[in-house]
Amino acid sequence: MKEDVAMKQNRRSFLKIAGAAGAAFGLSSLPFAAHAATDSARKLKIGVIGSGRIGGTLGGLWVKAGHEVMFSSRDLEHDKVLAASLGPAARAGTPRDAAAFGDVLLVAVPYTALPQLGKDLADLIKGKVVIDTSNPIVARDGDIATWAREKGAGLASAELLPGARIVRAFNAVGAARLPVIAQSQGERIGMPIASDDADAVAAASRLIQEVGFEPVLIGPLAMGKYLIPGTPLAGERTPEQIRKIAPTLS
């Protein structure tokens, strides 16, 4: 009975988010080119926290899309070289610098780093849109990954990054494929996302579209447990396939 009530509450929450996001951003009706034309003048500042394969690749694609990006990691020299290779719209700094700089933040770090990151950046991430790509991998991350998988990766990230407006995305697509998909002129690949915040969905969806994917909101952060490798939504799927699979998971 309690599970039925919780599922109904999650369903109502999802419908509110999906409706608000659709109204704010036109996800269901505007193709990427049309949306880009209506909002192309508004460039974003993006703080990348964790500039490895995923963070470095996505940040580079967003620079090419016209945004300003600050890269950060534990290796500032690496970030400086990366930023220099991308031109004047890219820069490097510490994670605190990136968190302060970004209108939107991308977090792409091992899951074991999230607790300390949440403490170190608590005053800077509160109220900001955070695209969370971090996956709890038990073989790599140990006990915290086990806990996060039991709780659900979306809800766990929200607990570890308190106050952030989290969107789970980019959780099961290889970094090497991102530039290929961004340049593809063929059928668009779907990007399943989960969030409790309609405005965060809208902001993240724009950036997702700009790297060649079609965002597909599958539900609230509680559904983030399905946005990790090894789940039915992992890998490259069409938007239609994602929309068919997602309702079978809740």
Residue 37, pLDDT above cutoff 80: no
CA–CA distance, 105 with 204 (Å, rounded to integer): 10
What are the helix (H) ranges across the chain? 2-25, 32-39, 53-64, 76-86, 95-101, 114-120, 122-125, 138-141, 143-151, 153-160, 177-183, 198-210, 239-245
Tell me the average pLDDT of the chain: 87
Asked whether the beta carbons of 168 and 216 are under 8 A apart, the reply is: no
Which pLDDT score, from 0 to 100, does residue 117 have?
A: 97
133 DSSP assignment: -
Helix (H) or strand (E) holding 167, with range, is strand 165-168
- Flag whether 3 is in a domain: no
Mean pLDDT along residues 238-245? 96
Helix (H) or strand (E) holding 229, with range, is none
Per DSSP, what are the bridge partners of residue 191?
Answer: 215
Which pLDDT score, from 0 to 100, does residue 23 have?
A: 39
State which amino acid sits at residue 235.
G
Asked whether the beta carbons of 189 and 181 are under 8 A apart, the reply is: yes
CA–CA distance, 64 with 116 (Å, rounded to integer): 31
- Flag whether 18 is in a domain: no
CA–CA distance, 161 with 38 (Å, rounded to integer): 32
Residue 17, pLDDT above cutoff 70: no
Residue 21, pLDDT above cutoff 50: no
State which amino acid sits at residue 122.
A
Q: pLDDT-derived band of residue 41, with 50, 70 and 90 as boundaries?
A: low
Question: What are the pLDDT digits (tens) for 94-121?
Answer: 999 999 999 999 999 999 999 999 999 9
* Residue numbers of the domain that contains 144: 32-248
Mean pLDDT along residues 175-199? 91
Which pLDDT score, from 0 to 100, does residue 63 have?
A: 98
CATH code at position 141:
3.40.50.720
Mean pLDDT along residues 76-91? 98
- Flag whether 200 is in a domain: yes
Which pLDDT score, from 0 to 100, does residue 7 have?
A: 43
- Flag whether 189 is in a domain: yes
Mean pLDDT along residues 73-95? 98
- Flag whether 216 is in a domain: yes
- Flag whether 6 is in a domain: no
From residue 130, alpha-carbon distances to 46, 77, 162, 204, 236 in Å are 10, 24, 11, 8, 23
Which pLDDT score, from 0 to 100, does residue 183 have?
A: 87
* Least confident segment among 155-164, 184-193, 210-219: 184-193
The three-state secondary structure class of 151 is helix
Report the length, in residues, of the chain. 250
Q: What is the pTM of this model?
A: 0.85
Q: pLDDT-derived band of residue 139, with 50, 70 and 90 as boundaries?
A: very high
- Flag whether 24 is in a domain: no
Per DSSP, what are the bridge partners of residue 70?
Answer: 47, 91
Residue 91, pLDDT above cutoff 70: yes
CA–CA distance, 200 with 65 (Å, rounded to integer): 19
Residue/partner pairs of 229-232 with CB below 8 Å, 24 or more apart: 229/135, 229/137, 229/171, 229/172, 231/172
Which pLDDT score, from 0 to 100, does residue 172 have?
A: 84
Q: pLDDT-derived band of residue 185, with 50, 70 and 90 as boundaries?
A: confident
Could you give phi then psi for residue 176, rounded to 5 degrees?
-65, -25
Neighbours of 134 (CB within 10 A): 28
User: How many structural domains comprise the chain?
Assistant: 1
- Flag whether 204 is in a domain: yes
206 DSSP assignment: H
- CA nearest neighbour of 45 among 82, 70, 25, 80: 70
Asked whether the beta carbons of 235 and 182 are under 8 A apart, the reply is: no
